[in-house]
Structure 1
């Protein structure tokens, strides 16, 4: 099990590269971030931003989204992938926000995860980026990097989140996830990591990486 010092060394190494990051999903409210996060499953951020530009023009808030026919939502978000399931979740989520939360996005993990289509990862994104409440989203990049580097030896996102939360100060959680994702996209690719130009290689165990 990695020590707090090892976790902090990784954070500091990545922070030197990427600094303070913000969520790349364009949004003007907690609800819009919630929607964008739901759409981002198995879809690139740039594609999500293109789709939400059209979607938010007709349904920028829970009330208007709840009134929009599911078929119309599906038509707008078709290029995001899994659009049928996502359109149903968006409609149901908006209706629940209107009916049970006064049209406002809740800001606790317990409440957020009662919303259709919202799990811990998505809830943590909303908490951290919309409400500035510490949260550590564990997506595929975060999972892969922390296992490859050797700070965790587990594929369970909930356990990885708990381990990080126990070793890293809360004020760093959201940004830590962001900079891990940036490194996963730019350097530590799933199939062909660029270890030769990776500045954190000295602290990386390179689990599952074949030597060149």
Structure 2
């Protein structure tokens, strides 16, 4: 866990948004609209936005292209996380992960429980890191996307969030972990 210094600045990330749907186009993509608005209002940069059908290989291809780009540090995927035969987002993404972020799905379901009760067990929200790129998948409803953004992503994609966040992981050249530097007074104080 990387500890963040108290004076860390906000660092805009390059973020791509992928909507997984067999039925929606951009005119009907309220979830993609919501994620685009939230990330740009926060100060991040929208690099690209796409819609692909519920197909393992089309999802994986879109995410793989973004993971290979230097200007994309995070990918937000909405849709395809349920249990129907066409819901394949987790199966498309998990083979790409170098590391899974298990806590994301756990926390998403905890937040969701307050709204939909035990039905949250059917959410297969997943996240991971692939080639130093963060990938977060959430259900496709605007309400679920708002919950994921407001309850988890806005803080974890902000370099100022203490005690830790994911920004230093995807932008290693930025100085976000002053408290982890050898000889820093913060390291001595925290006993790290």
The TM-score normalised by the length of structure 2 is 0.33
The TM-score normalised by the length of structure 1 is 0.31
Of the two, which has the highest radius of gyration? 1
**Higher fraction of strand:** 2
Higher RCO (CA < 8 A, seq sep 6+): 2
**Higher fraction of helix:** 1
